[in-house]
Amino acid sequence: MAFVTSEAEEVLYGGAYGGGKSYALRAIAVDYCLRYPGANVALFRRTYRQLEDTHILAIQGEVPRSLATYNQESHTLVFKNGSRIFFRYCEQEDDVYNYDTAEFDMILFDELTGFTYRQYAFLISRCRSTKPWWPGRRIRAATNPGGVGHAWVKSRWIDFLRPYEIRKGPAEEGGMTRQFIPAKVTDNPVLMARDPGYLEALKALPPEEYRARALGDWDVYTGQFFSRWNPSVHVVDPFEIPHDWRRYMGVDFGFAVPHAVIWAARPPDTSSLWIYREQYGAGVAPREQARRAREVTVAAGEKVEFIAMDPSMWAKAKDEHGVPMRSYADIWKEEWTGLTEIVKADNERVAGALLMQELMSWTSSPDGKPIVPPRLFFFRTCENCIRTFPSLQRDEKRPEDIDTQGEDHAYDAVRYLVRTLFQGPVRPAARRYIETPHGYLVIPA
């Protein structure tokens, strides 16, 4: 089958539940170990528990002891021919650094959408070898849609390639050849034979879940925090902001991870908000973040009422003499002197998440036409907001909040602003609104 025999460097086998994806990964690992004596193969899942449940027991049943034995302490399947399969995980974002000196001939990921992009990018750099027989990089991943990494996985494979096509990825993403192989429930002959009613049973799921689970549709998935996200409702073409709308900004700090700055405009007497500009990216120096944001604002001749910022930006680090240094908030205050007020937002996560849900929600008539519009809109130019909002997942342990393992920086910047702006009960949405070719426009009451 295509996944097992693929010659591409980075292959994703993804889609429907139960297609035999995890089984296929183990088959690939075992085949490689037998073919190349002395091979080191790593099989990753996000948590150890998941590894144990899906792979560690299963593989011991699948590989006879005459070929390999499992070492409990090192979580390694050791083959008689010297090959090894390492069962590995990285539950915390930074657990990847446990592998910073590791070297694997082949790396496999199960449930890839459980990983963040940073983790994946780091781990694939550990796939290298100086062994004479090395056939080149083999990175193999299997996954269902959904999970914290849904957005980046979708853009790296599903949006980039047609199914089965092999194409080289961009140089800045490692430049390896990529392939996407769609997984269908019917790929698993064993399941089909043992439980022929399985497909029918899936049809009883709610339509969106059916599409994600049975058909492996990447445009819908469960666990989505903004489950009512709809680009034709929340995303609008940019329009000229009326003079009487007030402008505000929100900031989420980041350096190793992206920082996010958002600009928003609010029509008078409403609790609705249009996010009309964003600044986003990792590796930008703190002062540069503040300066860039100021420069575009000043160049556009805009007056900003206040900037609501990540409260962690008030932390003061100490220099080597124990003298407190300027906080990031101080840096923003310096860069924005005389232009606006800098406000420390609160970080009550659940309250913020509920407010965000409320602002994003909308209702439709049975034919799907919105009858009550949402109160939060995004200009089409705010690409990172539009990309990351639909990918945010519910926190499994605290379902009223988002899972912070996802790419939540744009979300946080908006959240800091709305918590500061809409204190107390949120007022009813604008009383009157009109549908324009650009979506909904609120007419001040």
Ligand X SMILES: Nc1ncnc2c1ncn2[C@@H]1O[C@H](COP(=O)(O)OP(=O)(O)OP(=O)(O)O)[C@@H](O)[C@H]1O
Interface residues toward ligand X, by CB under 6 A: 17-23, 144, 188, 190-191
Q: Which is nearer to Mg ion, 183 or 342 (CB)?
A: 183
List the single partner that 144 binds among Mg ion, ligand X, none, CB under 5 to 8 Å by kind: ligand X
Give least dist CB 224 to ligand X, A. 18
Q: Which is nearer to Mg ion, 147 or 374 (CB)?
A: 147
Give least dist CB 123 to ligand X, A. 20
* Partners of residue 224 on adjacent β-strands: 393
* Partners of residue 246 on adjacent β-strands: 266
| Binding region for Mg ion (CB under 5 A) out of 22-30, 65-73, 225-233, 324-332 | 22-30
- Binding of residue 297 to Mg ion (CB under 5 A): no
Q: Which is nearer to Mg ion, 21 or 277 (CB)?
A: 21
CA distance 171 to 174: 5
Give least dist CB 15 to ligand X, A. 9
Give least dist CB 177 to Mg ion, A. 24
Give least dist CB 109 to Mg ion, A. 11
The DSSP secondary-structure symbol of 397 reads: S
Sign of CA dihedral 53, 55, 58, 61: negative
Angle between helices 328-335 and 286-299 (to 10 degrees): 30
**Is-contact 394 402, C-beta < 8 A?**
yes
The residue to which tokens 């007020």 are assigned: 341
Q: Which two tokens stand for residue 257?
A: 């991870």
Three-class HEC string of 327-386: CHHHHHHHHCCCCCEEEECCCCHHHHHHHHHHHHCCEECCCCCEEECCCEEEECCCHHHH
Q: Which is nearer to ligand X, 55 or 178 (CB)?
A: 55
List the single partner that 277 binds among Mg ion, ligand X, none, CB under 5 to 8 Å by kind: none
Q: Which is nearer to Mg ion, 1 or 296 (CB)?
A: 1
Q: Which two tokens stand for residue 124?
A: 């694939």
List the single partner that 225 binds among Mg ion, ligand X, none, CB under 5 to 8 Å by kind: none
Q: Which is nearer to ligand X, 18 or 374 (CB)?
A: 18
Residues 6+ apart with CB under 8 A from 321: none
Give least dist CB 142 to Mg ion, A. 6
**Is-contact 407 237, C-beta < 8 A?**
no
Residue nearest to ligand X (CB): 20
Counted residue by residue, the chain has a size of: 445
Q: Which is nearer to ligand X, 186 or 363 (CB)?
A: 186
Count of residues that interact with Mg ion, criterion CB under 5 A: 2
Give least dist CB 21 to ligand X, A. 3
List the single partner that 394 binds among Mg ion, ligand X, none, CB under 5 to 8 Å by kind: none
Q: How does DSSP assign 118-174, residue by residue?
A: HHHHHHHTTB----TT----EEEEEE-S-STTHHHHIIIIITTS-TT-EEEPPGGGT
Q: Which is nearer to ligand X, 16 or 331 (CB)?
A: 16
Rounded to an integer, what is the distance from CA 198 to the centroid of its chain?
Answer: 30
List the single partner that 191 binds among Mg ion, ligand X, none, CB under 5 to 8 Å by kind: ligand X
List the single partner that 190 binds among Mg ion, ligand X, none, CB under 5 to 8 Å by kind: ligand X
Give least dist CB 45 to Mg ion, A. 9
List the single partner that 23 binds among Mg ion, ligand X, none, CB under 5 to 8 Å by kind: ligand X
- Binding of residue 22 to Mg ion (CB under 5 A): yes
Q: Which two tokens stand for residue 422?
A: 């809409």
Q: Which residues of this protein are in contact with Mg ion, per CB under 5 A?
A: 21-22
